[in-house]
Amino acid sequence: MKAQYLFLFAGGLLAVFILVVVLYLCGVSQITCLVIGVVGASLVVWQTFTMNRKYGQYGLMKKGAVRMHPRYLVNRRTVCHLICNLQSKKAKQ
């Protein structure tokens, strides 16, 4: 496990810890807090290792970069307009 996965792992566990502390301070029973903490920490660990196995060292950054690019390019010119421009360029030569 390298790079961004360590940050996700540490951040997730910290978030679960803070959630458990806040719930405990609000008066939720200890058993409930422990169950939420164990389940939450297990989910964070499982999800982090799953993403590491699936995407690899740089794959998660690549997946994020794909979202920045458009899925397709739109050409608003009509086909007739494109053909007319092509013919006029050939005629000039």
**35-71 per-position pLDDT tens digit:** 999 999 999 999 998 888 887 777 777 777 777 777 7
Q: What span, in angstroms and rounded, lies between the C-alpha atoms of 76 and 31?
A: 62
Separation between Cα atoms, residue 74 and residue 23, nearest integer Å: 51
In angstroms, the CA 18 to CA 44 distance is 14
Q: What is the pTM of this model?
A: 0.62
CA atoms of 54 and 50, how far apart (whole Å): 6
Give the chain's mean pLDDT.
83
DSSP letter, residue 72: S
